[in-house]
Amino acid sequence: MNTSGSLKTKNLLKILTDAEGKSFTGTVTLKGKTGLASVTLKGGKVVFIREPRAKSRLGRYLVSKNIITEKELQGALNAQKTKGGSFLGEILIEQAVIEKKSLATAMMSVAEESLIHLLTWEEGLYRVEEEEVPGDPVGDISYKEMANKAAQMASAVGDEWAIDQIVPHKGKIDENIKEEILQAVRRVSQKLRDLKPDEVVLLVEDEMLMREMFKDKLISFGFEVDAVESPHLALEKLMEYEDSGKIPIVLADLIMPTLSGKGIFGGLELLEEIQKTYSHIPVIVNTAYPDASIRRRALFLGATYYINKPDRKEIRPEDLENQLNLFIEEVAVCIQNVIQRHEVYFERDQQNILREELLTQLIQSREELEKVGEVVQRDTGDIKFLSETSSSMVRDKSLAKMAEVIVNFAAREMDRCAIFLIRKDVLTGFYGGDRRPEGKQFGASVKELSMKIADSPLIKQAVEAGKLITVNDPGEQLGSRIKELLGEPLPKHTVILPLLVQNMVVALLYCDVIPGGTPPRDIDSLEILLNLASLSLEIQQQQVMLKRLKQN
């Protein structure tokens, strides 16, 4: 069952399921972006798992579960170094630190945890090799069940990395804050995934049969492959990749037509040209030409790898396919090494970008919170002022006092304010104020106003509706007498609020803002004051009636 390939085309679950079905004994070696891992099998069952996350996972597990002490673990690890090749579990049994049953349970748990982690690997290479395996399986692990857990934990692994690496902390993070951070990480991570390096293998081979064979086999390893037959076409492809944003890995034969038309080392000439123009592009040179000086020259010119390929003339036909498979596997490992380096650099940059992006978002959030704080502080001040104003108005029930309080309150946002009394069909000015320096005479002018309600369509609408009226650019709706009272400039925003006593409009609050001013925002508070004024006047009226009744 000695095979190799890409985890993109055959994932670990399929490999292990096949191994179980064939009672395979040997090792499955994985090469992923985080490093090397292996699953040792006997009869298709797991005996041991190595993976790159941490050393001595079994020892750490035993200490974390208080099965052994840290001192006992260190003693066993030192003994393991001295003996060499012995399993940690065997040494712990020999030292009478742990019983076989407890060890078996721990090894099963550790193997399952490690297997779940490896089943999340979606990219990389695998190699399956038959060999003798010492020891016994840790237990009957269900590969399908582990794969289901791996799928469930895939996002959790990313979340854990985000919290631990992007937002280092001490102690516990509030769950709501943690979720906010994770949502931000997921948004940024998705953007970065869209920018992930898009590698393509550019195969440069002049022999058509070899070109097609190599291309098919490399595709079976999960790589995207473009194949061309000459250095000229290779350089044209490299120009295309620059425009498309793809990152090429060049796999070039050494012996083929040259760019200059002289000589036979076209691959060497292509390598030199790439170093001049595209020095960042990795080049893997392959050849059956047995010349050490040419190999040294290729490496001096910047070849990432120099691989000897099988010479068809020296290989029996029945062995050719096997030799080509081994050659392609070696090439695939070299390509994977290059891709892995790309991904390491990308993830390093990704982490930095994530931190910068999150820092920016946190700064923006802080600024937004400060703005919210300002609004809350301002609104709290408004509520306090409204409360104090309301108390004052309820305490002093005279209309004159109420009018003064209401106009002063409205003047915080309005330019001109006036209280008009309603007597049948006549509107009479009662109290007014203008916060602008040039409006000192406005209050006196208001007191002189007397007009029919019908002369102002806007006033008539407010009286008939008995509810709040707001208008932008009222213009002619004001009526000539109101326009004369206001003078220039005419208002940009107008607010009229009725004062009702026993469902009858007895007065109006008129307010406006001139062009260029800020539109009024706190009309609700004005309505509250008018309603309180209405209630106070009704109470006052009832008190007067009760007093008369007592006198009679």
User: What are the boundaries of each domain within the chain?
Assistant: 3-154, 199-333, 396-551
CB half-sphere exposure, 299, CA atoms < 13 A? 9
The beta strand positions in 424-476, using DSSP E, are 426-434, 450-452, 469-472
Query: CA angle, corner 526, sides to 520 and 530, nearest 5?
Result: 150
pLDDT at 377: 47
The predicted model scores a pTM of 0.52
Which CATH number does the domain 396-551 belong to among 3.30.750.24, 3.40.920.10, 3.30.70.2190, 3.30.450.40? 3.30.450.40
Whether 440 has a pLDDT exceeding 60, the answer reads yes
As a whole number of angstroms, the distance between CA 107 and CA 102 comes to 9
pLDDT over 70, % of the chain: 77
- Give residue-wise pLDDT tens across range 58-109: 888 888 888 888 888 888 888 888 776 677 778 888 888 888 888 888 888 8
Q: Does the structure show a pLDDT above 80 at 279?
A: yes
Mean pLDDT of all residues in 178-206: 71
pLDDT at 208 over 60: yes
Q: At the top level of CATH, which class does the domain 199-333 belong to?
A: alpha beta
Scanning the structure block, which residue is given the tokens 């010349």?
Answer: 291
The answer on pLDDT for 233 being more than 60 is: yes
Answer positive or negative: Cα dihedral of 503, 505, 507, 513: positive
User: From CA 471, how far away is CA 445, in angstroms rounded?
Assistant: 23
DSSP letters of 286-326? EE----HHHHHHHHHTT-SEEEEPP-GGGS-HHHHHHHHHH
Torsions phi, psi of 36, nearest 5? -100, 145
Q: Which residue is listed with tokens 């080509």?
A: 324
Count of beta carbons in the 10 Å neighbourhood of residue 379: 11
Judged against a pLDDT cut of 70, whether residue 348 lies above it is answered with no
| d(C-alpha 437, C-alpha 83), whole Å | 96
Share of the chain above pLDDT 90, in %: 24
Contacts of 45 by beta carbon, 8 Å cutoff, 6+ apart: 20, 137, 138, 139, 140, 141
- Average pLDDT on 110-115 reads 87
Say if strands 247-253 and 125-130 run parallel, antiparallel, or are unpaired: unpaired
Number of Cβ within 10 Å of residue 287's Cβ equals: 22
Residue that is written with structure tokens 């068809």 in the block = 312
Whole-angstrom CA distances from 460 to 40, 453, 526 are: 93, 6, 20
Look at residue 264 in the predicted model and tell me its pLDDT. 83
At 27 the pLDDT is: 93
Q: What is the rounded average pLDDT for all residues in the chain?
A: 80
Section 339-353 average pLDDT: 65
